[in-house]
Structure formats: structure tokens, C-alpha cells
Structure 1
Amino acid sequence: MNSLWDIINVPMGYVLRFCSWLTGNQYILALLVFAVIVELILLPFGIKQQKNSIKQAKLRPKEMAIRKKYAGRDDTPTKQKMSMEIQELYQKEGYNPMGGCLPLLIQFPILIALYNIVLNPLHYICRLSNDTIARLGTVVGGITGQSYDTTRNINLLGDLRRVYAEHPSAFAGIEEFTSTVKDVNDLPNLTVFNSIDLAQKPELALNWLLLVPILTFVAYFASMKLTRKITYQPMQDDKAMGCSNKVMDFMMPAFSVYIAFIMPAAIGVYWIFKCLIGMAKQTILHFAMPTPVFTEEDYKAAEKEMNVRPDKAPRTKSGKVVRSLHHIDDEDFPDTAEKARARREALEAQEAAELEEKKAGALAAAPIKEDELRAPKAKKAKKDSDIISPEGKVAEKEEKTEGNDEK
């Protein structure tokens, strides 16, 4: 065995040995008691995680207020500023986002070691050395005609019980075994109802072992659904995260089914026990240490406390959004608000002046000429000259008469 893993394996092996003794070497019951004890050992880490989740949940209104302040702005400087404000909020409130990861990191090697213990009952329950287990595999294999992986001797255990009961003299030369195991009943019993051997791997056949992968999927799926429902989910409003969670809700149980098919059935049974006990533990923590639930008024109060303005961004008179990367949130702080407003008003005035100047330039450049303006007057004068008054007509008649007399 690896000496590093033995730091965890050996103490846990004694626990499993105690469970086996407590249940009369009934391995299935020993796994149940063992799963309960392991969850009790890991309970402080679960409490630590729950406290960390509660602390994060309490900060949600303020965090959402910060995110609302920068909503609709997807440039990199704005995102960096938003992340910086959220981190400052966490530091101010004494919340460590990585605090919930430490318990998980501690549990991970423990859980890996547990599977190694469950797979090696001859070593951790019977306290037999690796050399003795290898010799037992040779003796049993010589009688059954099979080969055994003695590093995972749970496969060997079922046949060892049967061969030892039928041919006890075959083991006379293995002193460590005969001095430790006086009778076949001293060996862990992996059979259930005297017919189902949990040392065997489940197969796609109509037998009782097929229930192990099926129940493993159901237990794991229910465990994930319950955990997601009663624990705080910081990204519950994220659609992408929601889609990812739905995929994981099926992928992880499906992976557990794969493990249940390639491992002895006892591993699947232990996994079922672990999921069921884990759900019970999570439910108890949920009711004993509930996460806070906030109303719309709580979120509005947080926005007021965080100085979130109703408008997402200032706008000029032309409707253009002012989004300076250097002074993007100066109006939100008392020490810079006055200068920021003056800067914004100056920018609006400048833009309005530029707009008026453009309009004036457009009028000046229009193709209108003075002669075109005077043309209607000239035409009107011409029409007026064509109109002859009565006096004019008499004068014209006299001129014609005088002309005739001269002739």
C-alpha cells in the first residue's frame, strides 16, 4: 500500500473492521454503519460549507445592486470595475469565496481512500498482509481455476469463503491466515439473503444485481436535485449555468452507473448508502441552518444603500449615452459626484452646441439664389405694366387721331 494513502486508509480500515464486528461480519450492514460514521466524521466540513453559503446568501442583495449598476455595459474596464467592487464587498463583510472549497478539497482524498478500503476487506478488516493475500489468491485460484486481482481482493473474498469452508486443509501452510481466521464466519460475508453475492459485478441480465446500478442512478440523481434545491445557488439566474446544471444532473448519475457496472456490487451499494445518508444530512443542515430569503423591498433597500441610480447611464440631450471609461461611476460617490455632474453638463452643452452649428451650416449650404427670389417680383411688375388705365386708353386714342390729321 502507498504509505501516503495509508495515513487515511489505516484509521478508516479500523472503523470498517469495527463496523464488521458490530454487524456480525455482515458486510452489507457494515457498509451502512460505515457510511453513517463517515458522514458524521465529515459533518464539521458540511457545517462549515453551510455557514459559508449563508454568509454568501446574505450578501446577495448588495451584490445584485452592484451588478445592476453596471448592467448593460459589456466593455472590459466596466467588468473589471464591477468585479473589483464585488471583491471589496466580500472583504468588507468578511466573506471568502474560496472558503467553501476547502472542505471539498479535504473530503476528496478521504472519499477516494474509502473506496480503496471497501475494495480491500481482507487487508483492512482481517488485517492480512499483501503477501498473505497474494498466497490466498494462488490457493483459491488453483481450486477454482480463476485468477484474482489481490490488490482489490473483494473479488477474492466470496470464493475464499466457499473454498475455505470446503477445503480448510488447503490453507494450512498460510500461518497468518489460519491464526487470524479461525473459522469461515470470521471472514466478511458479502452475500445477501444467502443468494446475492455483492462481490460480483452487475451485468445486463435479469437478476437482483441489476438493481444495484439502477438504484445507484436514482439515489445519485435524487441527491443532486435535493442538494440544488435546498442549498444556496449564487448563479441561479444565469441561463448558461442553469443549462450546465441540467446536463450535470444526468451526466454524474450516468457516470455512477458506469462505475457500478465495472466495480463489484458492494461499491454500488455503498454509493447508494452514501447518497441517502448525505441527503438526510443536507436536509437536517437546511432546517437547522436555513439560508436567508429576500423580498423585493430588501433588494431595493440594498440598491439605496449602494447608491444605485435608477438610470443605468447618463444621457445627453441627443439621446447618446455618456460612458466614459475613466469616470464611469464618479457620480455614484459623494467625493466625485459634483465634478462628475459638472463634467457631464459641460459635455451635454458641447454636444448641443455642435448640433446647432451643424444645423446652421446645413442651412447656409442650401442652393438658394437672390435672382430666384427676385424673379417672382419682376414677373409681377411685368404683368402690372400690361394693365392700361382708362386715362391711358384716351391718351392713346388722341395720339392716333393726331397722327391721321398730319397725314
Structure 2
Amino acid sequence: MADILLTANSVAILGPIAKFLGWILDKIYILVKMATGIENIGISIILLTIVILGMLFPLTLKQQKFSMFSQKMQPELNAIRKKYEGKRDQQSVAAMQQETSLVYKKYGVSPAGSCVQILIQFPILLSLYQVFSRVPAYITSVRSSFDGLVDGIIKTSGYRGIMKGIVSSQKLSVSVDFSDKHQSIVNNYIVDVLYKLPQDGWKVVYDKFPKLHGNIDSTIHSIKQYNYFFGVNISDSPLTTIKAAMADKAYLVVLVALLIPVLSGLFQYLNVKMMPQPDNGSEQMANQMKTMNNIMPIISLVMTFSVPSGLGIYWATSGLVRVIQQMFINKHFEKIDIDDIIKQNELKLKKQREKMGIYENQINNAAHYNTKGIKSKADLSGLDLDKMNEASSMKKEIKPGSLAAKANAVQEFNDRNSRK
């Protein structure tokens, strides 16, 4: 069986995500119709964008927090890397990982905090591409708008050959097999072709099915209601729309089609400029990050010209929403006392260690969070002998692989270094 372009995507991971997002879009479409009487996928996409970004907001806030705190903790991470520079033995690697982990815990952030949102957004974008390219497969009322015409077509003698000829003459990027024995599949193929037809292509349908002019007019009217956003077909790319509109001298449509990618790139650029940038401690890496931030909006602008306009509307709307979100996030962070958060995290860590039976005296220099206080060797001169004996007896009860066991391994390593 040939691939169907506009039916639901069944690829692993993307298929279920597309189905879920399509389900949300369908419900939004129905709610908008019930509330306003308007049937328009473009409006539904804008509302869908707000819903998705609302769901992702906790991750956005987490990413912003990581970017802000990374500037504060980078000197400490650099000091740890310098301390263990050139040491590749197992104990040194474990000690470095332990000290690095403690620094992250001190600031209350995760090392993966800067990339989680990107990893989540990428499959969402790919899935939305499928949804906006295959709208009839996901929005029930859109699919039903073709039913009358499809019923008339399949009752026409030789319709399979006629539809095959339309696909060939219009050079449609849809793979179909009208010889399939399953009528429901053939019906889907017909919807695929009709939904993908350009405006001139409907003239061919008029000629090939002269007895169905009423059904054809009704279908075209429905498509223009729900599938066009200010004259732009959301399933066509802005570039395709611009070419067709220029030929028809529809310059207002050209302007709208141009605005979609332009606003997409502009809002992304503003969003990047407003975001706190993580400090990676390297001037070279910082320059690379700056270059990437400048290039990404341009890539967004160029790519939006060639993807469905529906995806461009999502991209532009998400950029605007993110700019608004960023304004509130920046104001929120202005009220945050970073030093107070660090003290609270230090207190939590201390209580956790004490609960596990690890006294503060046992912790190596990784626990001294002040950058200036990081040393190459742990200072053991101030340890209380009684507490050391008590701590030593507790080592026997510590489970292998636990945080306490790792802390003891680090301490033993530093003890040996101090005697050299």
C-alpha cells in the first residue's frame, strides 16, 4: 500500500505526539466554533500555541534559572576543573564528579537544565509539521467537509482513473494508489488530493466531474473558511503562496505571507536578546554561543518560507508569547536574592548529610562553596578527634554506592595526597 500524505502520521514517537497535538487542535477548533461561530484553523493554531507554551512554561523557567545561576557558579566549576587537570585515575574522576555535583546542588540547578526544553520542543515542532500538513486527518469537521464531494466522486464511472490523472496533471506531492481494494483507503486518497489542490486545480475537478458542481462549490467555500488565514492557505508554504499571489496580483496576500517568516525571525531574535546567557567560562565558547544566537533567528526566517504556513504561524506566535513570558521572567528574577537561595541550598545539603550520618568535618573541600576557598588539598587540621573516631566507626555501616560512601572515597583520596 502506498504512503498517504495527509492521513495521520504513524511514525514511532512523532505519531503519538502528532495525534495528541492534533486532538488538542481539534478540540480548540470546536470550542472556537461554538463560542464565536468562526471556523478557522489559523486562529486555532494561535490558541494551540498558547496552550503548548503554557504547558512548557515550568521548563522555560527552569532553563532561565540555569542560565542565570550558571554565571554565578562558573568560577567554582572552573576551579574544580583546574584542580583535577591532568588527573585521569578513577579516584580523581570520582572526586571531581562529586565536587561538581555538590556545586550544582548548591545552586539548585541540574546540569541538563539548559537542553531539556530544546529536546522537548524539537519533536513537538516535527509533530506539528505533520499536523499542519495533514489537517483532515486530525480535525474531524475538516475531514467531514469533504464527505459530500467524495461520495459523489466514487459514484462517478471511472473515478479512479480520473483522480489519478488529476494528481499527474497538477504535479501534486502526494503518493496514492487508487487501485487499492479497500474503499475507505481510496476515500482517504481522494481527500488527500482534494486538500492539496491549488486554486487552479479545482478548475480541473470542475471539468472532470461536471455533475458535482454543487458539491465542489460547497467544499471550496468550506476550505476558504477554515484553511485560509488572511488569504494565506495554512497548508501551503509562504513561498508557494507568494508566487501564486504575485501571479494574481494579490499584493495584500503577498504581504501577509511575507510577515509570517519575518515575524518568526524577529520575535526569536528579541527573545534571544532578552534571555540571560549562560557563562561557560571560555571566551571561545562564549563567542560561538553569541554567533549561534545571531544565526538562529536568520535560520528560522529562511526555514519558515518553505514549511507550511500553519507551522510558521505557530513559530511566529510562539516567538511573541516567549517575548511576553521573558518580560515577566526577567522581572521575577530581579526580585530573587541569589545569595539567599544559595544559603538555603547549603542548609538543605548539610541536613541531608547529617541525616545520613556524615558530619561536616568529613566533607572534603568540595563542600567549601566559596570560589576563593577552593583548595587543592583538604584542610584536616581543625578536625575534632572524637568526631573522627565516631565517623570512622560509622563507615562500617555505610552502604556501598551511597552518597556517604562516595564522600568517604573522596576523603581517603585527599588524605593520601596530603601525606605526599
TM range (shorter): 0.5 to 0.7
Match of 1:46 in 2: 57
Change in 2 beyond 3 A, CA 1:341/1:197: closer
Q: In the TM superposition, what whole-angstrom CA distance separates every residue of 1:214-251 from its partner, at most 9, and x where no partner exists?
A: 3332122222222x33xxx4425532222112221233
Correspondence for 1:146: 170
The one-letter code matched in structure 2 to 1:34 is L
Tell me whether 1:255 sits opposite 2:303 in the alignment: no
Q: In the superposition, relative to structure 1, how do residues 162 and 193 fare at CA in structure 2: closer, same or farther (>3 Å)?
A: farther
Quick check: 1:119–1:153 contact (8 Å CA) kept in 2? no
Residue deviations 1:254-274 (CA, integer Å, cap 9, x gap): 222332222243432332112
Q: Write the mapping of 1:50-89 to structure 2, written as runs, cut at 5 A.
A: 50-51=61-62, 54=65, 64-65=75-76, 67-68=78-79, 74-76=85-87, 80=93, 81-89=95-103
Q: Say whether 1:187 aligns with 2:223.
A: yes
* Pairwise CA distance, 1:137: 12
- Aligned match of 1:119 in 117, 129, 133? 133
Say whether the 8 Å CA contact 1:49–1:100 is kept in structure 2.
no
Return the letter of the residue paired with 1:12: L
CA contact (8 A) 2:174 2:193 kept: yes
Give distance in 2, aligned partners of 1:139 and 1:311: 77
Per the alignment, residue 26 of structure 2 pairs with 17
Q: In the alignment, residue 186 of structure 1 is paired with which amino acid?
A: S
Match of 2:199 in 1: 159
What TM-score comes out, normalization by structure 2 length? 0.55
CA contact 2:22–2:138 (8 Å) conserved in 1: yes
Q: Counterparts of 2:305 and 2:419 in 1: how far apart (Å)? A: 69
2:368 to 306, 311, 315: 306
**Paired position in structure 2 for 1:110:** 124
- Note if contact 1:223-1:275 (Cα within 8 Å) is conserved in structure 2: yes
Q: 1:91 to 1:219 in 2, by over 3 A?
A: closer
**Larger Rg belongs to:** 1
Shift of 1:49: 4.8
Give the structure 2 partner of residue 8 of structure 1: 17
Instruction: Give the Cα separation in 1 of the matches to 2:194 and 2:267.
Output: 23
Following TM superposition, by how much is the alpha carbon of 1:19 offset from its aligned partner in structure 2, in angstroms?
3.8
Partners of 1:2 and 1:311 in 2: how far apart?
A: 56
Quick one: distance in 1 between partners of 2:418 and 2:374?
Answer: 18
1:279 to 323, 330, 333: 323
**SS of equivalent residue, structure 1 residue 251:** helix
In structure 2, runs of 5+ residues without a counterpart are 1-7, 176-191, 347-364, 384-410
Does 1:240 find its partner at 2:284?
A: yes
C-alpha spacing 1:308/1:331, structure 2 compared with 1 (3 Å): farther
Check 1:213–1:234 CA distance in 2 against 1; reply closer, same or farther (3 A cut). closer
Do structure 1's residue 330 and structure 2's residue 354 form an aligned pair? no
**Partner AA of 2:316 in structure 1:** I
1:156 corresponds to which letter in structure 2?
K
Contact 2:170 2:201 in 1 (8 A): no
Contact map agreement 2:49 2:317 (CA 8 A) in 1:
yes
Distance 1:89 1:156 in 2: 55
Equivalent residue, structure 2, for 1:37: 51
What is aligned with 1:225?
Answer: 273
Q: Which has the higher contact order (CA 8 A, sep 6+)?
A: 2
* Structure 1 residue 113 displacement after superposition: 0.9
What letter is aligned with 1:306? Answer: H
Is the CA contact (8 Å cut-off) linking 1:217 and 1:254 kept in structure 2? yes
Match of 1:267 in 2: 311
- Taking the aligned partners of 1:211 and 1:341, their CA distance within structure 2 comes to 64
Q: Show CA shifts across 1:120-155 (max 9, x none).
A: 2232222369xx799899749739941222478797
Kept in 1, the 8 Å contact 2:80–2:100? The answer is no
Deviates more, 1:72-81 or 1:28-37: 72-81
The Cα RMSD (Å) is 5.3
- SS in structure 1 of the partner of residue 260 of structure 2: helix
Assess if the C-alpha contact under 8 Å between 1:36 and 1:277 holds in 2. Answer: yes
CA contact (8 A) 1:122 1:154 kept: no
Cα deviation, residue 182, structure 1? 5.7
